[in-house]
Amino acid sequence: MDPKSPYNDLPWDLIVSALQGVLSAEEETQFQQWLALSSDNRSTYERLQRMWGEEMADYQFYQQADEGGAWKELRSRMGELALPEGAGVLPEEEVETRLGAISGRAAQGKGRILAMKWAAVAAALLLLAGAEWWYVSRKGEQYMTAANETKRIPLPDGSMVVLNEHTQLRVESDYNKTDRKLVLVSGEARFDVVHNPERPFVVDMGDVSVKDIGTGFTIDRTADSIKVIVSEGRIAFVRHETGETHEIGAGQAVSFYAAEHKFGSVSNRDDLLRFDDKPLSDVIAALERTSGKKIVLSDTTMGQKKLTVHLGGESFEDAIKTICASLNLEYSVVNGEYVLTQAGAHN
């Protein structure tokens, strides 16, 4: 691994405790201070968090605190692929040296058993971080957005994905070869799909998936729920364990609640576009989800303006006109985006 790698000198005892959700109050303060030191610290932790969440959290040998087993299992899995020259895999002796330091620091205050658990997790994370080429090639193309960032991702089949802020998406490595599969890890994304019945378009989210039936739709995935809003066409929202399926069409929405393992009731567009003393930013977000259109504020402070309005049953153009009339705004269309400005501001 590059000696300047961000993984070299990390507070692994705090990081692994954070990943497992066992930070004490004092450790939580120390961990938040470390995150606040730099954006590099935050981005590094997010990468490790993704590796932990997608690759390791359910592996029994990590829970059994078997650092040797953790290291051996992951090394064997990685060994299934040829290691290209200069791939940058972390040498075994380097892993052992760092694990010794990690275990030593952890044992000072936590005891041998917890130290071993931390070392087990750190062993696998170090290997994944040291061979990230393997992680990415195996998992497909990864996309992430930060705060106040959006990304447009054109797909090989002509479909388009737009990621909202704080969103993680993976495009599987065999996309558009035998099927078209994406994984929405977290956050909100808008999908405009080129329909192909021979190669179904599927967004996978662990317990559930969404299958396109020729459509445009938005998915908002949080830790507690997954909400799908259809702007055109139809989708099938499927729970894998039971096969339960909700098929919904344009102007409808439905949520899946992770803790209860159940779907909510289907909502209509009218219900989604009823606002009582809500900020303009909330109204715009809902209108974007239900229409698939992009709305931009020329001055972000306008998003704090509040209004009471019911936009259900109106066309998108009429909804924009209603908003403008309510808040003394005007709009223009620039490169397909609807830009809202204060009325008379350009004079």
Domain assignment of residue 347, yes or no? no
pLDDT digits (tens, 9 = 90+) for 169-219: 988 878 888 889 999 988 999 999 988 888 889 999 988 999 988 788 999
pLDDT (0 to 100) of residue 172: 81
Total number of domains in the chain: 3
Domain assignment of residue 255, yes or no? yes
Q: Is the pLDDT of residue 107 over 50?
A: no
The CATH code of the domain that includes 337 is 3.55.50.30
Where in the sequence is the domain holding 308, given as residue range(s)? 273-342
How would residue 116 be classed by pLDDT, with cut points 50, 70 and 90?
A: very low
Residue 47 backbone dihedrals phi, psi, to 5 degrees? -65, -45
Q: Are 15 and 48 contacting, i.e. CB atoms less than 8 angstroms apart?
A: yes
**Pairing state between β 225-232 and 245-249:** unpaired
Q: CA 189 to CA 80: how far, in whole Å?
A: 33
Q: If you average pLDDT over every residue of the chain, what do you get?
A: 75
The CATH code of the domain that includes 167 is 2.60.120.1440
Q: Where are the alpha helices (DSSP H) in 131-260?
A: 132-139
Higher pLDDT, 50 or 60: 50
| Contacts of residue 77, Cβ cutoff 8 Å, sequence gap at least 6 | none
Q: Is the pLDDT of residue 134 over 50?
A: no
Domain assignment of residue 6, yes or no? no
Both 97 and 35 in one domain: the answer is yes
Q: Could you tell me the pTM of the whole model? A: 0.53
Q: Is the pLDDT of residue 332 over 50?
A: yes
Residue 49 backbone dihedrals phi, psi, to 5 degrees? -60, -40
Higher pLDDT, 314 or 140: 314
